[in-house]
Amino acid sequence: MQRRTASASAPTVFSAWTQAAVTSVKRFIDSTITSGTASVQYIITAQRGTIQGRPSTPITVQFGRAGNGPGMTVTVGEDGLVTPIPTGKPKLAA
């Protein structure tokens, strides 16, 4: 899984892609996101044995207000799905 971030001071400028995790389970909790991060993008590449799949479309997690309420928004792809997540402790599993 690769990740890049954008800060609140420059929300449209993303950092370079970096390796976020390698896991053998279908769940990932990113506990390294720092305060002041406006959004995070992830790319997931599946692997079985030595065979690697194609990288996913970037998945964007935007922190802050989703629509008119608090929470966060998850967007998949340029024309993809937009899902507001209710307030409370957000959980992200991949």
Two structure tokens written together for 90? 């957000």
pLDDT at 94: 52
**Degrees to nearest 5, angle at CA 51 with 21 and 56:** 55
At residue 71 the predicted structure's pLDDT band, cuts being 50, 70 and 90, is low
**Chain segment 15-62, per-residue pLDDT in tens:** 999 988 888 887 888 888 888 888 899 999 988 888 999 998 888 888
The domains of the chain are located at: 2-85
Predicted TM-score (pTM) of this structure = 0.69
Q: Name the amino acid, one letter, at 19.
A: Q
What pLDDT, on the 0 to 100 scale, is given for residue 3?
Answer: 93
Query: Are the C-beta atoms of residues 45 and 53 closer than 8 Å to each other?
Result: yes
